[in-house]
């Protein structure tokens, strides 16, 4: 969804539920509930009054509470301590972390089908170990994305002028339609490759259709018939203990 020309209104409280309101140059109101904490966010046309927005949220309170309950019940990963034997995921596969202390540049390697090696200098802090692993995750995505774009851009008939990888708070991906830029969540490096492909196709399809309405879903069905399976895999995956950074 395009991120330009946005006017962020003050948060409102509806039945003890904080609601973030963002006004956009769009035709229809969109309401979403987002991980990890079930934050409620409304994208609203500029002409809608606060009362109109309140009524729209109230009409969907039962759905909102159901979604929030789902996030509350969703399993959380324990905080990563970056020590030997800890579990980490790479494109959906589980690995055991092996930390090796030696002098030199920090490096990360897949030793075999079960072991993820992290080579660091002696006395490297937990934060710097984590930073080294995240840099490696970022590179894994950057190595995969070009081939996926090469595959899907001709099929969809749309291309991205630029793309990038960053941590996000509420989305697996986002796009700026005017600038034709796509951002992908760093966490996708931990999920199955099919999930990365789904998110990339999702954002490319937004170049054809801004909203998530019937036309958007029909286009997704056309290009990626089993896209709901990947979406459900992402939605059902354990939430990271760490807060994502917003787009």
244 located within any domain: no
Q: Quick: pLDDT tens for 190-231.
A: 999 999 999 999 999 999 998 888 999 999 999 999 999 998
Q: What contacts 29, CB < 8 A, 6 or more positions away?
A: 42, 43, 44, 45, 48, 52, 53, 56
Residue 207 maps to a domain: yes
**In this structure, is residue 78 part of a structural domain?**
no
Looking at the fold, whether 226 and 126 belong to one and the same domain comes out as: yes
Sheet strands (E) in the chain: 7-14, 17-24, 30-34, 39-45, 87-90, 93-101, 107-110, 115-120, 162-166, 173-176, 181-185
Cβ atoms of 40 and 212 within 8 Å: the answer is no
Q: How far is CA 7 from CA 4, 56, 57, 142, in A?
A: 9, 19, 19, 32
Sequence-distant (6+) residues with CB within 8 A of 168 are 174, 183, 185, 186, 187, 244, 245, 246, 247
Count of the separate structural domains present in the chain:
2
pLDDT for 238 equals: 60
Quick: pLDDT tens for 28-84. Answer: 888 888 766 788 889 888 888 888 998 999 999 988 888 888 766 666 566 778 999
- pLDDT on residue 36: 65
Element (H, E) at 46: none
Q: Is the pLDDT of residue 9 over 80?
A: no
pTM over 0.75? The answer is no
Measure the CA–CA gap between 211 and 207, rounded to whole angstroms: 10
Task: Please give the angle made by the CA atoms of 209, 57 and 46, to the nearest 5 degrees.
Answer: 55
CATH number of the domain encompassing residue 105: 3.30.2010.10
Residue range(s) defining the domain that contains residue 61: 7-73
132 and 60 in one domain?
Answer: no
Q: Residue 205, exposed/middle/buried by CB under 10 A (0-12, 13-18, 19+)?
A: buried
């Amino acid at each position: 969804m395009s991120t330009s020309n946005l006017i962020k209104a003050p948060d409102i409280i509806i039945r003890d539920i904080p609601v973030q309101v963002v006004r956009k140059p769009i035709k229809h109101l969109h309401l979403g509930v987002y991980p990890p904490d079930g934050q409620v966010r409304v994208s609203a046309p500029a002409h809608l009054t606060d009362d109109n927005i309140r009524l729209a949220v109230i009409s969907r309170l039962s759905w909102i509470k159901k979604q929030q309950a789902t996030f509350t019940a969703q399993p959380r990963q324990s905080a990563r301590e970056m020590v030997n034997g800890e579990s980490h995921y790479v494109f959906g596969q589980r690995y055991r972390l092996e930390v090796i202390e030696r002098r030199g540049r920090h490096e990360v390697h897949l030793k075999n089908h079960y072991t993820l090696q992290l080579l660091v200098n002696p006395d490297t802090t937990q934060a710097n170990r984590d930073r080294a692993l995240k840099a490696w995750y970022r590179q894994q995505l950057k190595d995969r994305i070009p081939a996926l774009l090469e595959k899907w851009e001709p099929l969809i008939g749309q291309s991205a002028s630029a793309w990038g990888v960053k941590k996000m708070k509420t989305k697996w991906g986002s796009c700026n339609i005017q600038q034709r830029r796509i951002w992908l969540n760093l966490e996708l490096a931990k999920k199955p490759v099919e999930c990365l492909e789904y998110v990339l196709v999702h954002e490319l399809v937004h170049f054809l259709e801004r909203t998530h309405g019937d036309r958007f879903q029909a286009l997704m069905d056309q290009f990626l018939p089993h896209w709901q399976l990947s979406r459900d895999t992402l939605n059902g995956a354990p939430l990271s203990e760490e807060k994502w950074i917003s787009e």
